[in-house]
Structure formats: C-alpha cells, structure tokens
Amino acid sequence: MKKIQRSAFYRLVTTFFDVLQNYEEGLPVVAFRFSDNFQETYPEIQQKWIQILLRAKGWIVPNYELAPDLEKVQILRVVVKENTTEAVSILLLILLSSFIEAVVQLVDRLLEDIVSDVEYFDLCKS
C-alpha cells in the first residue's frame, strides 16, 4: 500500500489505517460504571453486586471508589491481558449482561410484590 502511495503512477483511493494511532493513548484497561439512566431507574441495585457475582464465577473485577473529590463515583475495572482474547472478552460481556438482567428481573418482581401488598392493605382498610 505504501509503495503504491509513493509511486507517481497511481493515486490511492482507499486506505487501511494503522488503527491504533487514531485512538486515545492508554493502557488496555477498561473502567466503567452503571450509566446514569440505569442508576435512576434502579437505585436499589448496587454496583458492587457485580463484583461479587463475577467473583463467584472466578473473575476478579474490582469495584472501588475513585480518589477524593470523586469518591462518590464507583468504578469496575478490567485489565485486558494477552490471554484476554476476543472470546474471553465476549464471555465476560455475557456474564455482565446476564447478571444485570437477572438482578433487574428480581428487583422488578420484588417491587411488584410490594405494590400488590400495599394495594391489598388499602383494600382491607376500606
């Protein structure tokens, strides 16, 4: 490709990038937290549960508070090493989403029960 680019005979129309230089520099580390939207919808669900659930499956993904002034922000952190292949990353994603789905389902059902209890209580009173 570079040879075509340098030659005077042709003009290159497409280019494949050395993609790395297009991205922000950094370590292969992913730091993430529950989105604002999710936290507002489910304030009952604690982010540290994800750490505990992953630990039960043999993954060590720490959940911790950031440094002072940002101590209210909790992050989960994954270090991507040479043995974290694409398949392993996808496995982690499946776990991360299935845990959330399970916990959301549980919380929804509990909230439903509470609501129906309150309705029943109101019905008894009247």
- Note the residues at the interface with other proteins (CB under 8 A): 11, 13-17, 19-38, 75, 78, 80-82, 84-86, 88-90, 92-93, 96-97, 100
CA distance 54 to 68: 27
Half-sphere exposure of 106 (CA within 13 A, CB side): 8
CB of 38 vs other proteins, minimal distance in Å = 5
CA distance 96 to 27: 22
The smaller minimum CB distance to other proteins, of residues 33 and 46, is found at 33
The smaller minimum CB distance to other proteins, of residues 32 and 120, is found at 32
The smaller minimum CB distance to other proteins, of residues 22 and 126, is found at 22
